[in-house]
Structure 1
Amino acid sequence: MNILKNIKLASDTNRPLCQDTGQVIIFLELGQNLLIHGILLKDAINNAVKRAYIDNYYRKSVVENSLFNRTNTNTNTPVLIYTDIIEGDSININLLIKGAGSENYSTLKMFKPSASKEEIFEFIKQSVITAGEKSCPPLVLGLGIGSTMDGASVLSKKAFFNSMTQDEQVFSNSLKDYLNASGQEILDVKLCSAATHIACHPVALTINCHSTRHAGCVIKNSKIIYNEINKDYKAIEDKDCHCRRVDTDNIEAIRSLQAGEKILLSGVIYTARDAAHKKISEFYKNNSNFPFSLKDKI
């Protein structure tokens, strides 16, 4: 219920669902009859993402190079773009915003062709258990089965947009029931399967938090048709109307909170993790203080 409220508020107020505003992944389908003039299409996409993140003050989360230069690009680019050629003269764009908390626990296994459905289910269950609360459940899982090692990973992202076949739907529903029956918190399972080598059976799992953020559109004859977004929040009721209201500036009220207590919290909260923690520690070690006071702050 609280998650649904958060989604509705984010939609109504045009605010991010999470401070991790993600890395942008785009699946691009280009009609083979198209002729595109002007700047490179990938440059147009990167410019659009840069503008969106800067104009809306979203956090920029992309570094120059994972190994040699972990300097923030400050534009949230480059975008990851996967391209397919299709019939016709349209451009189909599907966009996925991928946070790192869940992405860090995504995984892949090269099964033997003889692997059973039960073996695959158990692998996925153990992967979800390993991710635990660090992946921000309840989860939406993307499953890519087939292709190659790298191809299966792409399929597991593409699964979030995939119109599943009947066989894929039955497999996904069965896996979802299996995981939830074992005590996991799974909102949905998406599957995209493909051909593979006779000696291979790759299975890739993309773990996504409850904030599975995606959008899409079709560009044809200079017109943009946006994919319909379901905003039916199933009659969300204000069941928290009797919760205690707490402001983050009231440190005594914060200290009085009990484990499990539900509150309506307002104010400023400072958040940081991983690389930010390291930089904070290094700054304090070198300067013996912070750029601004964190006394009695959350």
Structure 2
Amino acid sequence: MTSAKLDVSTQELRAPSLAPSLAAAVRHGLLLIFAAIILLPFAWMILAAVKDPSDIFSDPFSLDPAKLRAVENFSKALTAAPMGLFMLNSLIVVVGVLSVQLITSVAAAYALAQLKFRGQTLLFGLVLFALCIPVQVPALPMYIALAKLGLLNSYFALMFPWFFSAFAIFLFRQHFRTYPQEIINAARIDGFTEIEIVLRLIVPSALPAIAAFSVFSVTAHWNDLYWPLIVVNVTEKMTAPLGLLNFQSAEGVSYGPLMAAATIITSPLVCVFLLARRYFVEGVTMTGVK
């Protein structure tokens, strides 16, 4: 009798449980649904970029090889407006903004995380307060200042408001606080300066967080239309989103070339994310609050 009970118990233990599998299937199903919702506009954009404009709305998700107009749409997107110049301007802006942001934010975050000085808590509170201020609030005074200095329609005007990033300081501070204080003290005893500690110890350990922030920064400023629309009104300094708006105004509502231009502008961001996705995920998941 006892042996039979043991056999039944063993079979129950060996029997696979359906509950975890069902829960995993539900989770993955929901993720697939959300992913499809997010990717649907991009799929429509790519299909519209290669189709005849007359077929875009009549049968939006069909793809007839005999009616493809990819060459015509992309050629018009590249020739009707200086799309290469617009993307070059965006590249200069995002690289310049990111470079200054990393220099200022890494230094400030290290000071807030590893140094002790009077007013440290107050300064960190101001950083958190800055996170709550919308970008539209300081836009008017900054525009007036740039106009009085004659700096409108310049790369500096496009980059200046973003040199300080409260989000980057907060993100890096949380990561730097997890770095062992003993290693920093040992480096100081060995004669390392604070700059050497940051460059040789802190920054290499924070590469995932830096990569994660870089993706956020590049994406935000590549796609930014609000500020360039305010400070730029000459074609030579237009960024990609502003150039796309100018292209739409010049060509009218021609969705084939318009979606082709949008595809050209979007593709560099996709490439950047694919190249940095491992560091991006690691930086977001490993940056905790200590």
Q: TM-score range by the shorter chain?
A: under 0.3
Which structure carries more helix by proportion? Answer: 2
Q: Of the two structures, which has the highest relative contact order with CA contacts closer than 8 Å and spacing of 6 or more? A: 2
Which structure carries more strand by proportion? Answer: 1
Give the TM-score taking structure 1 as reference length.
0.22
